[in-house]
Amino acid sequence: MTTTSPAVERETLSTAQAINRALRDALAEDPTVLVLGEDVGPLGGVFRVTDGLTAEFGEDRCFDTPLAEAGIAGFAVGLAMNGMRPVIEMQFDAFAYPAFEQVVSHIAKMRNRTRGRVELPLVIRVPYAGGVGGVEHHSDSSEAYYAHTPGLHVVAPSNPSDAYWLLREAIASPDPVVFLEPKKLYWAKGEVALADGGGPGIGTAVVRRPGTDATLIAYGPSVPVALEAAEAAARDGRSLQVVDLRSIVPFDDAGVCAAVESTGRAVVIAEAAGFASVASEIAARVGERCFHSLAAPVRRVTGFDIPYPPPKLEHLQLPSVDRILDAVDDLQWEDA
């Protein structure tokens, strides 16, 4: 469905469609862009994210590989060393682990090792996180592994517009980007302005909902939950601000601090197990940098420190509106 405004063309797309559109536009604009991975060819990916790309651009541009994640990642290193911009798909978060050595020891380090002589402009797309009733090994929130590795950018969109624009920027980046696609949001629809440049780029957090009492900090699949919690809190007379990080690395210290300082209270929300997590890092950074503005310790609402649960129990692992509101209630309110 297309609506036309005087300035920009807007389309309502699902997140999966927005990613597909970003890949298609990148393939069309730059002949060095390649899309590869398991089932990304004629099938169009298990989530149909690469639907139609092989038909439109041919086998040389969008193609299936042998089923070997380390091989895919290592192969992409060579492609990127030699003038290409590969976009590789790891079919599921937990299936990306065989590629870990290539990601950590080569993709992340090549630029530094060679003093900037060898750049690796490649994107690792990872359908990630839970909430879709996936069986074992299909629902990991693996962002901390990547965020802990210097040399990688780590991006997690929360809506179709960011999915499109952040992926376009990731493909254009001279540095490797881990692009985390929240599976739960693949079918969520939103407006995408395809001609306006997409607003702030990688490394910039945005305020999704203004608020004055406390700041909810989230990224990827947790942003819609945070927005829902803020909506519920508003009905109880509490005004919650929601910050969407959009990129974990680079992390927007300035933007996050400014937001937290404006309210004086903060809750960090993420699906991943909380111990040694991105949420922990954010809480620590906010504590160090915004201490004098804080009326209460920073709270975290995260997954428990357990392997991701089976589908019938996963609702207990995911940050919920209730858990977020309980954490907000704990922020040492003077009227409590």
Partner 1 sequence: MESEWNFDQYIYMVINEDLMLPSREPVMLLDPDGRPTVDDTAALPAADDLLRGLAGMVTARRFNEQASVLVRQGRLAVYPSSYGQEACQVAAAQVLDDEDWLFPTYRDTAAAVTRGVDPVEVLGLLKGDWHSGYDPYERRVAPLATPLATQLPHAVGVAHAARLRGESTVVLAMCGDGATSEGDFHEALNFAAVFRVPVVFFVQNNQYAISVPLSRQTVAPSLAHKGVGYGVPGEQVDGNDLAALLHVLSAAVGRARAGEGPQLVEGRTYRMQAHTNADDATRYRGDDEVAAWAAKDPLLRLDAYLRGAGLLDDARAAAHADAAERLARHTRDGIAVDVVPDPEDLFRFVYSTPTPQLVEQLALVRDELSRDEPSREETPR
Contact set with partner 1 (CB under 8 A): 34, 59-60, 65-66, 68, 70-71, 73-84, 86, 98, 101-102, 105-106, 109-119, 150-151, 153, 173-175, 203, 249-254
Q: Would you say 78 or 199 has its CB closer to partner 1?
A: 78
Task: Report the SS3 class of residue 147.
Answer: helix
Q: How many CB atoms lie within 10 A of CB 313?
A: 10
- The set of residues, in sequence order, having a beta carbon less than 8 Å from that of 211 and lying 6+ positions away, is 230, 239, 240, 241, 242, 263
Instruction: Select 70 or 94, whichever has its Cβ closest to partner 1.
Output: 70
Residue 93 phi/psi, 5-degree rounding, is -40, -55
Q: Strand pairing partners for 37?
A: 64, 89
For partner 1, which is the closer residue by CB, 151 or 182? 151
| 138 part of the active site | yes
Q: Is the dihedral of CA 15, 141, 305, 135 positive or negative?
A: positive
Question: Of the two residues 112 and 212, which places its CB atom closer to partner 1 in the complex?
Answer: 112
Give residue 45's region: left, alpha or beta (phi > 0; psi -120 to 50): left
- 248 or 328: whose CB is closer to partner 1? 248
Asked if 302 and 275 touch (Cβ cutoff 8 Å), the reply is no
* Contact of 235 with 210, CB cutoff 8 Å: no
Is residue 306 within 8 Å of residue 139, measured between CB atoms? Answer: no
Q: What is the DSSP letter of 58?
A: -
108-98-130-175 Cα dihedral, nearest 10 degrees: 20
Least distance (Å) from partner 1 to the CB of residue 286?
Answer: 14
- The one catalytic residue in 106, 137, 138, 148 is 138
> Residues with catalytic annotation?
138
